[in-house]
Structure 1
């Protein structure tokens, strides 16, 4: 297969399915050959990311992802994506395993916030407990010169219920709960823009988009960037050159 990219997914599987569905439906096609070439690694056995980040006595998920990245690197993809926010805890270590461009969805999303909402100094963040605990998005937001709002003590249990109890355990999106989280972040904590720092939340946005709030969806942004890069490379562009503008350091 000529010119393909690799997707390190399965964290969780339904969220990865959402990313794949986005790239399949957003690319403009007139025939089968217009779709993108990609290899999906749906590694559903990767240990829980939040569990390890919160408690290092829990199974470490790095080696599973290391094997996935090295396995794909042998195949020579043009670039690699990993549609799981919390797994970016090991992004630097994983990206260092290969010279193949490895996109960082967190950095791409934060830079888009800066570009798209230049007048906003603060962004609301809802994410897994692991991402919040290890400051994964918080550090990126501060690096960009912006402030982050997490909301009150009641927000995280609501977000955790939506991510784990509904989507991961039941495979369903509670649209009312999702909308209530957004409402509280907007009306009670003054967030004009809310960043969805978990791909399960991206799935919630895909399935329950009927709300009036501004959200920044890293998975949706990553899908658009993936399409942009894949089409440029298909048309003859050098993979490393076109990916360079998204490899924020």
Structure 2
């Protein structure tokens, strides 16, 4: 009887939950994120899947240019989309874009709902796997902004970065995926991945959400060699939806801000 009552409470709380996705950065990565959430959800029928409110808006100003070149600030556009998600009934929001997490803490300050950080999810995965030396494939803005390094350094985890020439190749690969040339993206990004592994990285963070699209075959064949930021965020969203108590845990445990 108590178990039935508890299950009833869980179902009521789940029905009240709605995931808000602040997407469009880029649009293909947002669709891939939704696919990963659905594939990660243990559902036997439509009604068991996570309700989502999605803002897939590619017109958000370029994040890398804003950070590196003081170009147009994307924060007003991000905040406007967050407000739209809130008004549409979202009870938690996520951003399937690593570079946009440069503004994540500021967004959570103004947010009326909970949030899950993609950076926290990746750091949690690294800790669970006991890794001490990881590579990072990400936009130049994510690398220079230290979004991962500042979280990993206090934990004694070394972050191996591409050299300048290889970072250019990473950016070329990301741009190729955004332009629809996934094959070119795969060639550029796999070369950069191999370079990091040769430098002793135990595993490599796929720290831009376009990268898993290019390296999907390798990641599926050798999952221990990569940390897919998009997949980790998707798993956290599924856990949030299925475990009502999750939001009461510490942020480092639950990835919830």
Give the TM-score normalised by the residue count of structure 2: 0.85
Residues 195-210 of structure 1 aligned to structure 2 (within 5 Å) = 195-209=205-219
Q: Contact 2:114/2:256 (CA < 8 Å) preserved in 1?
A: no
**1:242 deviation in Å?**
5.7
Q: Distance in 2 between matches of 1:239 and 1:78?
A: 13
**Residue-by-residue CA offset, 1:104-161 (whole Å, 9 max, x unaligned):** 1102211220221x2x322111100111121111111113331111132322011111
Residue 57 (structure 2) pairs with residue 43 (structure 1): yes
Q: Report the equivalent of 1:28.
A: 42
Q: Contact 1:229/1:243 (CA < 8 Å) preserved in 2?
A: no
For residue 136 of structure 1, give the secondary structure of its aligned residue in structure 2.
coil
CA distance change for structure 1 residues 74 and 143 in 2, over 3 Å: closer, same or farther?
farther
Q: Distance in 1 between matches of 2:79 and 2:111?
A: 10
- Counterpart among 199, 204, 220 of residue 194 in structure 1: 204
- Mean Cα deviation higher: 238-247 or 81-90: 238-247
- Mean Cα deviation higher: 93-102 or 70-79: 70-79
Residue 237 (structure 2) pairs with residue 246 (structure 1): no
| Total equivalences in the alignment | 240
- Mean Cα deviation higher: 90-99 or 6-15: 90-99
CA distance change for structure 1 residues 159 and 16 in 2, over 3 Å: closer, same or farther?
same
**1:231 deviation in Å?**
2.0
Residue 152 (structure 2) pairs with residue 141 (structure 1): yes
CA distance change for structure 1 residues 148 and 239 in 2, over 3 Å: closer, same or farther?
closer
**1:209 deviation in Å?**
3.2
Q: Distance in 1 between matches of 2:191 and 2:181?
A: 19
CA distance change for structure 1 residues 124 and 69 in 2, over 3 Å: closer, same or farther?
same
**1:60 deviation in Å?**
0.8
Ranges in structure 2 where 5+ consecutive residues have no aligned partner? 1-14
- Mean Cα deviation higher: 149-158 or 33-42: 149-158
**1:91 deviation in Å?**
0.7
Q: Distance in 1 between matches of 2:178 and 2:158?
A: 30
Q: Distance in 2 between matches of 1:75 and 1:238?
A: 23
- Mean Cα deviation higher: 170-179 or 65-74: 170-179
Ranges in structure 1 where 5+ consecutive residues have no aligned partner? none
Q: Report the equivalent of 2:72.
A: 59
**1:5 deviation in Å?**
1.0
Give the TM-score normalised by the residue count of structure 1: 0.88
Q: Report the equivalent of 1:176.
A: 187
Q: Distance in 2 between matches of 1:121 and 1:243?
A: 23
Q: Distance in 2 between matches of 1:13 and 1:207?
A: 20
- Mean Cα deviation higher: 82-91 or 62-71: 62-71
**Residue-by-residue CA offset, 1:56-77 (whole Å, 9 max, x unaligned):** 1x11100000111122223442
